[in-house]
Amino acid sequence: MSGAAFARLAAGNATRRTGFGYAERRAALTALAKAIRAHEAEIMAALATDLGKPETETRLTEIVPVLAEIRHTLAHLRRWMKVRRVLPTLAMLGTRARLRPEPKGTVLVIAPWNYPFSLALGPLVSALAAGNGAVVKPSELAPATSALIVRLVAAALPEDVVAVVEGGVETSTELLALPFDHIFFTGSPAVGRVVMAAAAKTLASVTLELGGKSPVILGPGADLKRAARMVAWGKFANAGQTCIAPDHVFVPRAQEAAFLTALRAEIARMYGTDPRSSNSFARIVNGRHFARLKAMLDEARSGGAEIVAGGEADEAARYLAPTVLTRTDEAMAVSREEIFGPVLPVIAYDDLDAVLGQIEAGEKPLALYLFERDRAVIEHISATTTSGALGVNITLAHYLHLNLPFGGIGNSGLGAAHGIWGFRAFSHEKPVLEDRFSSLGLLMPPYTGAKARLAKLVQRLVG
């Protein structure tokens, strides 16, 4: 993006602050929704090209989340935009205070390749709702979707409100050097550090939606069938290339065999006996990621891990079967790195507290999943673990709940998206304090004896 193009977008900020009100934001979001509906067939085609994504999965995970975000935003936007009165504190009696949400200004959205449509346009919905001008940088690793986003956004929104800039690392680096007011980044923790370092130069605020390993714990009272179903769905949707996919599963040793049987049955139920010919199973995004996953699998196998389901790989088709591993060890890449593919280690445990200790010792996960029926165990694990979100007897679905903030903590991210949290990420809640009949004058210089006594009284009153 040229400096001039950025300047054009930034020049709109002052006008947008006053002229991009409720009606204009509503119109922009409605136009975006209309363009998404009009481009439905193209969206399906682009995702099929980039990720071999089945149509129904594209509908459910790329189109529906963005349309749902728009619908939810339109239903609540007027309330979110309201200037809110806050009560005066004792010392501030005689003043009137308000919170006025204002757009941050010109914002940058950088998207990853795994849900290349919804993770580019979802944050854009929040950016527009909050009244910003935006630059969207889709992922170069999903080129068909990236090109489609350019066309779709151009059809819906004027260039001085949203610009889509295509490109890879170089483009991203150039964009990060521009003085954006907020950067909303979705991607890996490693690049998240690069983004935060770049933001330090301009002091842009950041939202970092990152990744990492999201563990699943089957408690002693887990419903194995339900757990198998939810884990198979959460893990193998989009061929495991989901930031909140279950990365690995801890199962009580006594229940390992029964869980594996249930898991194999669920995989067969969802993808048939030959998932390659299933019309419900996606492909690995590119040769590099295929090679990474294959190397992980080969290393695990040669190190003594056992493949108890799947394992078949076809490089030309970028097909990797839904695969379940047992007997992995901590030195293997599959145990150290975010897997981000359809490979699921199942780890038998003897002591739940040791599992919790192991999770605590690692990076804070984006999601932690617990399968358990006993309330006391659920409460114990809720209270003693930390993660971006906790799913109990469920996987993935907290992403779809727009009354919940979505985001990570520590290594898995900073800030939150979705619904009002997305709106807030792109807004500055400006405090406005107005004097009406406050007694502040009583404390101003010159500090006479009476004022010194008054100051002492005030100190005593506050504490």
Q: Which is nearer to ligand NAD, 224 or 343 (CB)?
A: 343
d(CA 149, CA 145): 6
Least Å distance, CB 221 to ligand NAD, is 30
In one letter, which amino acid is 456? K
Rounded-to-5 percentages of helix, strand, coil across the chain: 50, 20, 30
95-130 core/surface letters (b: 16 or more CB in 10 A; e: else): eeeeeebbbbbbbbbbbbbbbbbbbbbbbbbbbbbb
Q: Which is nearer to ligand NAD, 73 or 326 (CB)?
A: 73
Residue 7 CB coordination number (10 Å) = 11
Least Å distance, CB 369 to ligand NAD, is 15
Least Å distance, CB 133 to ligand NAD, is 19
**Per-residue DSSP letter, 115:** S
Q: Which is nearer to ligand NAD, 309 or 402 (CB)?
A: 402
Residues forming the site for ligand NAD (CB under 6 A): 110-114, 119, 137, 139-140, 168-169, 172-173, 186-188, 191, 194, 209-211, 243, 338, 340, 366, 408, 413
Q: Which residues pair with 250 in a beta bridge?
A: 217, 347
Tell me if residue 209 is catalytic.
yes
Helix 40-51 vs helix 22-38: angle between axes, to the nearest 10 degrees? 70
DSSP codes of every residue in 330-368: TTSHHHHS---SSEEEEEEES-HHHHHHHHHHSPPPSEE
Q: Which is nearer to ligand NAD, 285 or 378 (CB)?
A: 285
d(CA 192, CA 112): 11
Q: Which is nearer to ligand NAD, 139 or 323 (CB)?
A: 139
Least Å distance, CB 9 to ligand NAD, is 19
Phi then psi dihedrals of residue 267, to 5 deg: -60, -45
Least Å distance, CB 246 to ligand NAD, is 12
Reading across the β-sheet that carries 95-103, which strands appear in turn?
84-86, 95-103, 427-435
Q: Which residues pair with 390 in a beta bridge?
A: 368
Phi then psi dihedrals of residue 310, to 5 deg: 70, -140
Least Å distance, CB 29 to ligand NAD, is 21
Of 57, 69, 209, 338, the catalytic one is 209
Q: Which is nearer to ligand NAD, 50 or 372 (CB)?
A: 50
Q: Where are the alpha helices (DSSP H) in 362-448?
A: 375-384, 419-425
Q: Which is nearer to ligand NAD, 262 or 367 (CB)?
A: 367
Least Å distance, CB 244 to ligand NAD, is 7
Phi then psi dihedrals of residue 269, to 5 deg: -65, -40
Least Å distance, CB 154 to ligand NAD, is 19
Burial degree of 59 (CB within 10 A; 0-12, 13-18, 19+): middle
The gap from C-alpha 255 to its chain's centroid, in whole angstroms, comes to 33
**Per-residue DSSP letter, 286:** S
Q: Which is nearer to ligand NAD, 210 or 284 (CB)?
A: 210
Cis ω before 446 (30° cut-off from 0): yes
Measured at CB, which residue is nearest to ligand NAD? 211
Of 243, 256, 266, 338, the catalytic one is 243
d(CA 137, CA 175): 9
- Length of the chain counted residue by residue: 463
Active-site residue set: 209, 243
